[in-house]
Structure 1
Amino acid sequence: MRIAVAGGTGWIGRRVVEAVRAGGHEPVVIARSAGVDLVRGTGLAEALTGAAVVIDVSNLSTISRKRSEEFFGTATGNLLAAGRRAGVRHHVVLSIVGVDRVDIGYYVGKRRQEALVLDGAVPGTVLRSTQFHEFAAQRIAPRGPVAAVPQLLSQPIAAREVARCLVDLAVAEPAGLVPDLAGPQQLRMPEMARRLLRARGSRRVVLPVRLPGAVGRAMAEGALLPTGAGPRGTQTFDQWLASPVAQSRRGW
């Protein structure tokens, strides 16, 4: 099966491409570096030729509601329109557990993306996942003696397990909004950051930061946790810490 991966050169996208190949399928990378622009729509027709499924893990780093809505709305609309013309039978998108319970700008754009996929002309599946183990590495990426890390209660999961789940869903029938995917244990992000720094031999100090207002309260009190039964990853955060990928400072 030919499976197009939007955002296939990003750090989660690369893992999805690997999972597509491991499943015996042919991945097609959709990214600007591959000559495809999701926002402008250029190159999409050629990239989707012969593709049966699209897995969308494209992303934009922003806290702006306007930028998030513009990107996810435009990119998703272009993907769905091009997919319908190309005969794509299934459109799978990765979203975030709690995206409907935390009102930050980035999440507003993701909600827009979900709505487009669930109501689109191409049958769709939306998978919401909790934060990845690797998210702790992103929080400590800025250099300096102190790492400011948000007070966030999560149930982290390995990115590779998310990638495999996306591919399993992609080769199945479209299922709409499926049960939340999460890791095996609940952890607070500042503690994850401290443990990662210790594992890397760093003496940097972690400063827990609570975001203001209802958003900060929701994130600290579990709004980003799954609320019902669903698939669960098996790799714990400690197991991830012992892996070579946790020691790498590249590709986050």
Structure 2
Amino acid sequence: MRIAVAGATGTVGRHVVAEAGARGHEVVPLSRATGVDLTTGIGLEQRLEAVDAVVDVANTATQSRRRSEAFFGAVTRALLDAGRAAGVGHHVALSIIGVDEVPSGYYAGKRLQERMLRESDQPWSLLRAGQFHEFGEQALGFVRVGPWSLVPVMRSQPVAAREVAEALVALVEQGPSGRVPDLAGPDVLAVPDMAREVSRVRGLGRRVVSVPLPGAAGRAMREGALTAQGDAGATVGVTTFGQWLAEQPGPTR
């Protein structure tokens, strides 16, 4: 199959590219480097010529509802419109466990993305996954004050990005399936603990301060809204956070 990947160089996108190639598929990266602007759709229709499926793992780093909705709305609209024009038969998207339960700005964009898929006339599949194992290190950079990193108090069920990519490519091969069971990692962990362990193992020297976030969003995160706990139908990955961390580069100081 010929598979286009939006966000091909990102945390999960690079694994989608590798997994699709390993399964014998032809991969078409969608990026500015290949002449594509995902937010305006410029260059998309040409790149989607003879493509069988699009995998959308494009992402943006923002906590602003306006910016998140603008990004995910524009990218989803551009991919759906160009896919329809090019005759693409399947749109596969990645979302996040718990977006319905956490009223944050970033998740508003993901909710919009999901709604646009449901209301589209294009055949689609949607996978919600837990945070990737990389989230522990990302949290170290949210708010930095000297050697201190302020990390939100929240529970996560982190999953290997490679396993998410495998599930997405399997969805491409399976065909349009709507929303499929969520995918989470094998353990529920506190994000500040993840961040501390990353700092220790990689020798980053960061001192983690746990910070409870205010409001309904913070409460939902603390209570496990971003985990698959209680969802008997969820798929559970096999790679633990500890196993993933042991495979990462050593001390970087």
- Tell whether the 8 Å contact from 2:95 to 2:128 is kept in structure 1 after alignment: yes
TM-score by length of 2: 0.94
- Tell whether the 8 Å contact from 1:118 to 1:126 is kept in structure 2 after alignment: no
Q: How far, CA to CA, are the matches of 1:151 and 1:100 in structure 2? A: 19
Q: Deviations over 1:104-127 (max 9, x none)?
A: 111111111011112212111110
Aligned equivalent of 1:98:
98
Aligned equivalent of 2:153:
151
Aligned equivalent of 1:117:
117
Q: How far, CA to CA, are the matches of 2:79 and 2:94 in structure 1? A: 14
Kindly report which structure 2 residues correspond to 1:171-182, keeping only aligned pairs within 5 A, or say none. Answer: 171-182=173-184
Please state whether the residue corresponding to 1:171 is helix, strand or coil. Answer: helix
Aligned equivalent of 1:231:
235
When structure 1 is superposed on structure 2, of 96-105 and 32-41 the one drifting more is 32-41
Kindly report which structure 2 residues correspond to 1:42-57, keeping only aligned pairs within 5 A, or say none. Answer: 42-57=42-57
Opposite residue 13 of structure 1, the aligned amino acid is G
Please state whether the residue corresponding to 1:157 is helix, strand or coil. Answer: coil
Aligned equivalent of 2:219:
217
Q: Deviations over 1:156-209 (max 9, x none)?
A: 111111111111011112111111100001100001111111111343211011
**Deviation of the 1:248 alpha carbon:** 8.3
Q: How far, CA to CA, are the matches of 1:40 and 1:149 in structure 2? A: 34
Select which of 227, 240, 248 maps to 2:244: 240
Gapped regions of structure 1 (runs ≥ 5): none
Q: Deviations over 1:119-145 (max 9, x none)?
A: 212111110000011111111146641
Q: How far, CA to CA, are the matches of 2:48 and 2:16 in structure 1? A: 17
Aligned equivalent of 2:209:
207
Q: How far, CA to CA, are the matches of 1:201 and 1:45 in structure 2? A: 46
Please state whether the residue corresponding to 2:98 is helix, strand or coil. Answer: coil
- Tell whether the 8 Å contact from 1:53 to 1:92 is kept in structure 2 after alignment: yes
Aligned equivalent of 2:10:
10
TM-score by length of 1: 0.94
Q: Deviations over 1:26-78 (max 9, x none)?
A: 11000112110011110001110010000000111111111111111111011
| Matched residues, number | 248
- Tell whether the 8 Å contact from 1:152 to 1:188 is kept in structure 2 after alignment: yes
**% identity of equivalent residues:** 53
Q: Cα RMSD (Å) of the superposition?
A: 1.4
Opposite residue 241 of structure 1, the aligned amino acid is L
Q: How far, CA to CA, are the matches of 1:148 and 1:242 in structure 2? A: 24
Q: How far, CA to CA, are the matches of 2:32 and 2:251 in structure 1? A: 25
**Deviation of the 1:230 alpha carbon:** 1.8
Please state whether the residue corresponding to 2:72 is helix, strand or coil. Answer: helix
Q: How far, CA to CA, are the matches of 2:75 and 2:251 in structure 1? A: 31
Q: How far, CA to CA, are the matches of 1:120 and 1:70 in structure 2? A: 18
Q: Deviations over 1:79-112 (max 9, x none)?
A: 0011011111110000000001101111111111
